[in-house]
Amino acid sequence: MDDLLTDVPAATYRYGVVDDRGVSMDTLKVVEDPAGGYFAVYHSRPRKNAFTVHLAHSRDLMTWHHRADLDHDASQPMITPLADGGFLVAVEAGGAGRPAWLRVCRYPTRESLLDARPDRTFDAPHTLVPADRYAEGTPHIEHASPDGSVIDLGFHYFRDGTVDRQGRGRLTDFRDWRCAPEPALDAAIEAWGVRGNIGGRDSALILSDGVASERIILIEGQLRPGDWGSWRVFKYDSVTKRASPLAIRTHGGSTAFANPTVTALRSPRGGSALVVTLFVFSEGAAAGEAGPLIYFRDLRR
77 found inside a domain: yes
Residue 40 CA to residue 222 CA, distance in Å, equals 26
pTM (2 d.p.): 0.95
Q: What's phi and psi for 272, nearest 5 deg?
A: -85, 145
3-state secondary structure 100-166: CEEEEEEECCHHHHHCCCCCEEEECCCCCCCCCCCCEEEEEEEEECCCCCEEEEEEEEEECCCEEEE
Burial (Cβ within 10 Å: 0-12, 13-18, ≥19) of residue 253: exposed
Q: What pLDDT is recorded for position 132?
A: 84
277 found inside a domain: yes
Q: What pLDDT is recorded for position 207?
A: 66
Q: Are 279 and 44 in contact (CB under 8 A)?
A: no
At position 64, the amino acid (one-letter code) is W
30 found inside a domain: yes
270 found inside a domain: yes
Q: What's phi and psi for 33, nearest 5 deg?
A: -95, 120
Q: Are 246 and 234 in contact (CB under 8 A)?
A: yes
What CATH number did the domain enclosing 195 receive? 2.115.10.20
51 found inside a domain: yes
Q: What angle do CA 30, 33, 38 make, to 5 degrees?
A: 45
Residue 104 CA to residue 99 CA, distance in Å, equals 17
- Specify the number of domains making up the chain: 1
301 found inside a domain: no
**Tens-digit pLDDT string for the chain (301 aa):** 788 999 999 999 999 999 999 999 999 999 999 999 999 999 998 777 689 999 999 999 999 999 999 999 999 999 999 999 999 999 999 966 789 999 999 999 999 999 999 999 999 999 999 988 999 999 999 999 999 999 999 999 999 999 999 999 999 999 999 999 999 999 999 999 999 999 999 999 886 555 457 899 999 999 999 999 999 999 999 999 999 999 999 999 999 999 999 999 999 999 999 999 999 999 999 999 999 999 999 987 5
Q: How far is CA 67 from CA 59, 110, 190, in A?
A: 13, 12, 39
Question: 3-class SS at 178?
Answer: strand
Q: What pLDDT is recorded for position 211?
A: 46
Q: What pLDDT is recorded for position 46?
A: 78
Annotate 220-242 with b (16+ C-beta within 10 A) or e (fewer).
Answer: bbbeeeeeeebbbbbbbeeeeee
Please give the residue range of the domain that contains residue 117: 2-296
Helical (H) or strand (E) element with 291: strand 291-298
Q: Are 139 and 91 in contact (CB under 8 A)?
A: yes
Residue 50 CA to residue 118 CA, distance in Å, equals 21
